[in-house]
Chains A and B, each alone.
Chain A
Amino acid sequence: MRVRIKLLAAAEMPPGFDQFGEREMDLPAGASLADAMADISLPAEETYTSLVGGQAVQADARAGHALSDGDEVTLLPAIQGG
C-alpha cells in the first residue's frame, strides 16, 4: 500500500522528502504508523505529534494503529513557544 507523509515545520527535509515536506511511502499491507515512522530519520531529541487523516494518534498507540492504502500521515514537531 502507499501512504503520503507530510512533515511540518521542518528546517531541513530528511531523505526522501520533497521541498514541500511531502513524501510517498510504499509499505507492506498491515503496516502500522510506528512502522512508517521508523523509516523516517527524525531528530531523536524531539517529540513528534502524529495525525492520520487529520486525527491525532498518540505515541503509545502508533504500533497498534494499522495504516490503510491512501492514508495521509502528518508529523508535527512539538516545538515550544512562538
Chain B
Amino acid sequence: MGGWQGKVLRVDLSAGTTASEPLNQEWADQYLGQRGLASKYLYEEMDPAADPLSPENKMIFATGPLTGTMASTGGRWSVVTKGALTDAIACSNSGGYFGGELKLAGWDMVIFEGKSPHPVYLMIRDDDAQILDARDFIWGETAWVAEDSIKAKHQDPLIRIASIGRAGEARVRLAGGRHAQAPAAGRAGGGAGRGAKNRKAVAVRGTTGVAVHDPKRFMQVVGEMRQKLDTHAARERLGRVGTHAMMDNTNAYGSLPTRNGRDVQFDGHDAVKVKTAHTPRRSDRKANVISSKACFSCSIGCGRIAKIDPEHFTVVEETAKKRYGNAIGGLEYESIFALAPMVGCSDLSAATYVNALCNEDGMDPISLGGSISAAMELFEEGVITEKETGGIKLNFGNAEAMCRVAEEAARGEGFGAEVGLGSKRLCEKYGRPELSVSVKGLEFPGYDPRAMQGMGLAYATSNRGACHMRASPFVDDFSHVRPDGKAQIVKDTQDANAGKDATGLCAFAGNAWDLSDYAAQIDAACGGGWDAERLTQTGERIWTLERQFNMRAGLTKADDTLPERFLKEAAKSGVAKGRVTELDKMLPEYYEIRGWTADGVPTNETLDRIGL
C-alpha cells in the first residue's frame, strides 16, 4: 500500500452526501494513479455517450502515488471527466499545491457525481468532508475572490483551493479550473463541467503524511533524482527563462502557428519573445517577468510572476482593471503563443492581461487564443462583421479587440459567449468548420504540424484532442521534417507519457529523467517491481482504455485527423516551406504499430496482450 492512502472520497452532489470507500488496489496496480486510475474509474462508472454537461457525467480529481511525497515535482494531480469542449475523455494534468494537500488530507481520489440543486463548494479537512452552500458567498465571484473568501471564512490561509471562475459557472465550454499558484487545471472544458454540477470550488487542508513502501530506499532514490534534475541544463533553462524560451525555437524553425495557422513564423516575434519579457521597459524600469514560482516539492520552478506595463491600456483604462497592474501569474510558452502569434498580436502586456483573465475567471488560454484567432479569420474573410461582434473590429493583430472579446468570454456575454463555445462550434455555426484549428474540438498548442510532422500525428491521434503533452516527438521533429519514423516515436512516447502522467510527477522533469528514473521512484514508494517496461505497459493500457472510452462515446477514425489547412496548404516559410502534414502516410503505420485495425479499432489480440 506504500504511496497510496487507500481511500477514495465519493461526493454525490445530487443527494448532497459524501462517503469514504477503499481504493480499488487491483486497478491501482494496473493503472497506477492520476490519469490512469481515474480513467479506469470513469470508464467503469459512466456511460461514455452521456452528455458532458449532464448529471450523468462524472468528474474525478486524482493524485498519483508520488503526489504529496518528497519526490521532486511530486505535486501533480489530474482532473478526468468527459470534456464539454471535445465530447471525448478529458484528462488535465496540473501542479500547484492542491494535489499534494489532497493527498496529505488522506485521499487518493475524489469522485464527483450528479448535480447539486444549488451552488456548493466542498470543504475537506483530513477525514472530514462537507458540502457547503456557495450561494450568497462565492457563486458569481471570480476564482481569485472565491479563494480569498474561503480562506477568510474558514480562518486558515493554508487551505488549498481548486475553483472555477465565472466562465465555468456560465458553462463557457472552453472553461477550465484554476487554483492558486498554478496553471489552470483544465483543457477540454472541465470548468464548464464543474459549473454544470453547480460545484464552485473544492477546498482542502491536509495534515497527515504519505507512507512509502521502503522509506530508506525512497529517500536515497529521490535524493539521487533530485541531484540529477538539479544539475541538468534543462532545469537551469526552465528555471531561468521558463517554457517561454520555446518560442525562440518554433519561430526560427517555422513551426510557430501564427494568425490561426495561416503562417508559421511571426513577424512580431521580437516584441513578445522571452528576451523581451526579461528586459526592463522604459515606463517603470521593470521587466514583464519579475520572478519565478514553483509547484509543490519542485526544484525547477518554471512558473512566472509578471507585471503588466503600468502605462498599458489594460491597466490604465478603468479602476476595475487596476488589480491586473499588480504581480500576477505570468506567461508560459503555450499562453504567449496562443495570445500573441496565433492572434497576430505583438503586445506582451495584452497577452499577460488576457492570461491573467484566464486565471481569474477560469479559462484555458490555449483554447481562448485559438478561438479568438478563428473568430479573427472569420472576420477577415467577411464571414462575420461588426454586426456579429457587437462593434469590435476583430482583425488579426488588434490587441484591444482580443482583450475585449476575452473579457466578454470570461462572463459568457456578447460575442465573447460565442467565442466561449470554442473554435469548432463557432466555425460550424458560421459555416466555415475548416477554419477551426483544432482536433476533436480542442484547439492546437504552439507547434505547427507541417514543420513538426510527429506532432501532427500526435495531435490527430490524441485521445483528448490536439495536445502537445500526450506525445514527445520534439527531438526528432526538431531534427527533420519528413514523416518517416514518426509513427513509432509517437506511439512510444504516448505510452511513456501516459505512464508518467499516472505517477504524480511532472513531465517537465523528463528533460532530465528517463522513464526508468520515474519508475525507480514509484518502485521505492509502492514496491511491486516497477521498472521502465512496466511503466510503458501501464501507459499503453491507459492509452488504449481512453481510446475505448472515446469509441463508446461515438468517436471514430474520422476524428483522427487535422484541419484541412495543415493537410492542403503548404507552409509559406521555415524549414518546412512548401510542405504539408503527411498524415496519410503516418496514420496507417501508426494503427499497425498499435495493433489496431485499419479503422483504428484495437484488435482482440491487442486487448489481450495489454490486459484489457
Contacts and interface: CB of A to CB of B under 8 A. Distances in A.
* Chain B facing A: main interface SS: helix
A80 B474 contact: yes
Given A58-B479, A80-B474, A74 B252 contact: yes
Contact of B232 (A10, A45, A80): A45
Given A20-B275, A51-B253, A81 B508 contact: yes
A22 to B, nearest CB: 11
* Chain A facing B: main interface SS: loop
Interface string A66-82: 00000000101111111
B55 interface: no
A8 B253 CA distance: 11
Contacts of B478: 49, 76, 78
Interface of A: 6, 8-12, 20-21, 43, 45-47, 49, 51, 54-56, 58-59, 74, 76-82
A49 B334 CA distance: 21
A72 B507 CA distance: 34
Q: Chain B, interface size: which category? A: 35 or more
Which of B243, B274, B479, B512 is most buried by chain A, counting CB atoms within 10 A of its CB? B479
A58 B480 contact: yes
B239 A8 contact: no
B241 A11 contact: yes
Interface of B: 232-234, 236-237, 239-241, 243, 245-246, 248-249, 252-254, 274-275, 332-334, 337, 445-446, 468-469, 472, 474-475, 478-481, 507-508, 510-512, 574-575
A81 B478 CA distance: 12
Contact of B233 (A46, A51, A81): A46
Contact of A80 (B274, B334, B510): B510
Contacts of A55: 575
Contacts of A11: 233, 236-237, 239-241, 245
Given A20-B275, A46-B233, A80-B511, A56 B481 contact: yes
Which of B237, B334, B446, B507 is most buried by chain A, counting CB atoms within 10 A of its CB? B237
Given A43-B233, A51-B253, A81 B575 contact: no
Contact of A47 (B252, B275, B337, B475): B475
Contacts of B480: 56, 58
17 contacts: A9-B237, A11-B236, A45-B232, A49-B479, A56-B253, A58-B479, A74-B252, A76-B249, A76-B478, A78-B479, A79-B245, A80-B474, A81-B243, A81-B508, A81-B510, A82-B333, A82-B445
B244 to A, nearest CB: 8
A34 B82 CA distance: 50
Nearest to B451: A56
A76 B232 contact: no
A9 B575 contact: no
A81 B472 contact: yes
A77 B479 contact: no
B481 to A, nearest CB: 7
Contacts of A82: 243, 246, 332-334, 337, 445-446, 468
B474 A76 contact: no
B168 to A, nearest CB: 25
B474 A8 contact: no
Given A9-B246, A81-B469, 11 more contacts: A9-B249, A9-B274, A11-B239, A11-B241, A20-B275, A77-B237, A78-B478, A78-B479, A81-B472, A82-B246, A82-B332
A53 to B, nearest CB: 11
B474 A9 contact: no
A75 to B, nearest CB: 9
A61 B275 CA distance: 31
Contacts of B233: 11, 43, 45-46, 77
Nearest to A59: B479
A43 B479 CA distance: 18
A47 B510 CA distance: 14
A73 to B, nearest CB: 11
